Amino acid sequence: MTGPLGYVETQRVVLFTEDDPLVLRGGGRLDHVEVAYETYGELSPARDNAVFVCHALTGDAHAAGLHLGAKKRGWWDNLIGPGKPVDTDRFFVVSANLLGGCSGTTGPLSTNPATGAAYGLDFPMLHMSDLVAVHRRLLASLGVARLHAAVGGSLGGMQVLQWVIDAPDEIDRAVVVAASSRLTPENIAFSSVAREAIMSDPDFHEGRYAEKGVQPRLGQKVARMMAHITYVSAASLETKFGRRRTGSGDDWTMGPDFEVEHYLQHQGETFLDRFDALSYLYLTRLLDYFDPFADPWTADRIRSTATRFQLTSFDSDWRFDTGQSARMARELAACGVAVDHVELPSPWGHDSFLLEPPGYHDRLRAFLVG
């Protein structure tokens, strides 16, 4: 059958403690790491049907199904469920909030055991490998040693790539959508402006805003509004909003009037409730620095992997354009790794990975059972 998942719940588990800390790739350690995660479907007796779903920058563990009492389904509910491409009748699906995030997994707003207060900017800089280490530990705690597949879009896809590099024997199929192995200077530039908006907000207080009971709302809103433009395409904004206005004729105003402006205002405002500014800083920054093929060890590590990669990019995605997926495909192929990259037509820009452009879900479905 094809249908939606029923009710699901977010779980939390402590994975690293003072006696067994998370040693970070860039130096330093975290003495207490817990992670929020959800699972859908059943682990097979042979424990060989696990699929790990990696979320994007501002995602969370709630990828599919409904929380009790909620109206909005998980962010990848169109992909995950009974009979869907990530088929919960067949697969045991795990989705977990990232290290550094703000939706249940340890991050910069978590309490620093050394001070009893929130870490703020004392939280260590994270590498993609640190995010992978936490999710590998989660899998182990669930009794899974090997993944049928890891699936991720955008940052999630980059995490999948790093996972294969760090553990070349652990994943059979790596699904990487709308991602990159190395951000462009334009990518970095947009994120840098977003961070500037947040960090220059007077309510940022050098990262100690939580103690003061405030939030860098103005900067965080601007950051999200700007970033949102880069997640969609000019054509999709044209189709969706055109130049329609609330006002009419010569009734001009400096505040929002065009529908596209009201839409961005809404995107910016709702982001304030669902995401944290420090997590935004840490996760965008690790993306900027992410460049695994610049590491001379990477090629050696993955040369012997049996992981097969499926890369998908979208023709209207100008934030993580096809050129970036193509480069990743070349880098993988140069290491002898099996990789299939296809660019799909889609009008919706980078956000296409969350939607259903023609051919996309079929392509994922075929790869997951192939």
Residue among 286, 108, 266, 304 nearest 187 (CA):
286
Rounded least distance, CB 101 to its own copies, Å: 17
Nearer to its own copies, 159 or 316 (CB): 316
User: Is the CB of residue 73 less than 8 Å from the CB of residue 66?
Assistant: yes
Please say which residue, 174 or 227, places its beta carbon nearer to its own copies. Answer: 227
Can you say whether residue 100 is alpha, beta or left, with left for phi > 0 and alpha for psi between -120 and 50 degrees? Answer: left
Report the first-to-last Cα separation within the chain, whole angstroms: 20
Q: Is the distance from CB of 99 to CB of 107 less than 8 angstroms?
A: yes
Rg (CA), the chain: 20
Residues near its own copies, by CB under 8 A = 25-27, 121, 125, 182-186, 188-190, 192-193, 195-197, 199-202, 218-219, 221-222, 225-226, 229, 234, 237-238, 240-243, 250, 252-256, 258-261, 264-265, 268, 281, 285, 288-289, 291, 318, 321
Query: Cβ of residue 353: shortest distance to its own copies, in angstroms?
Result: 20
Nearer to its own copies, 252 or 297 (CB): 252
CB-nearer residue toward its own copies: 190 or 367: 190
Q: For 344, phi and psi rounded to 5 degrees?
A: -105, 145
- The beta strands (E) that lie in 154-276 are given as 171-177
Catalytic residue among 103, 341, 350, 352: 350
Query: Of the listed 317, 321, 325, 352, which one is catalytic?
Result: 317
Structure tokens at 268: 């910016």
Residue 319 token pair: 């934030």
- Minimum CB separation of residue 5 from its own copies in Å reads 34
CA–CA separation, 95 and 191 (whole Å): 25
Nearer to its own copies, 82 or 256 (CB): 256
Q: How far is the CB of 271 from its own copies (least distance, A)?
A: 13
Query: Binding residue per annotation — 122?
Result: no
| Shortest distance, position 166 Cβ to its own copies, whole Å | 16
Q: Say if residue 280 is exposed, middle or buried (CB neighbours under 10 Å; 0-12, 13-18, 19+).
A: buried
DSSP state of 104: S
How near is the Cβ of 214 to its own copies at its closest, in Å? 12
351 annotated to bind ligand: yes
262 catalytic? Reply is no
CB nearer to its own copies: pick between 44 and 239: 239
18 vs 238, beta carbon nearer its own copies: 238
Question: Left if phi > 0, otherwise alpha if psi is -120 to 50, otherwise beta: which for 47?
Answer: left
- Retrieve residue 243's tokens: 């130049």
CA angle 349, 163, 114 (to 5 degrees): 100
| Active-site position among 95, 103, 129, 154 | 154
Say if residues 37 and 10 touch (Cβ distance below 8 Å): yes
Q: From the CB of 161, what's the least distance to its own copies, in Å? A: 17
Q: Is 317 a catalytic residue?
A: yes
DSSP assignment of 261-324 equals HHHHHHHHHHHHHH--HHHHHHHHHHHHH--GGGSHHHHHHHTT--PEEEEEEETT--SS-HHH
Element (H, E) at 340: strand 338-344
Q: Per the annotation, where are the binding residues?
A: 224, 351
Q: Per the annotation, where are the binding residues for substrate?
A: 224, 351
The catalytic residue positions are 154, 317, 350
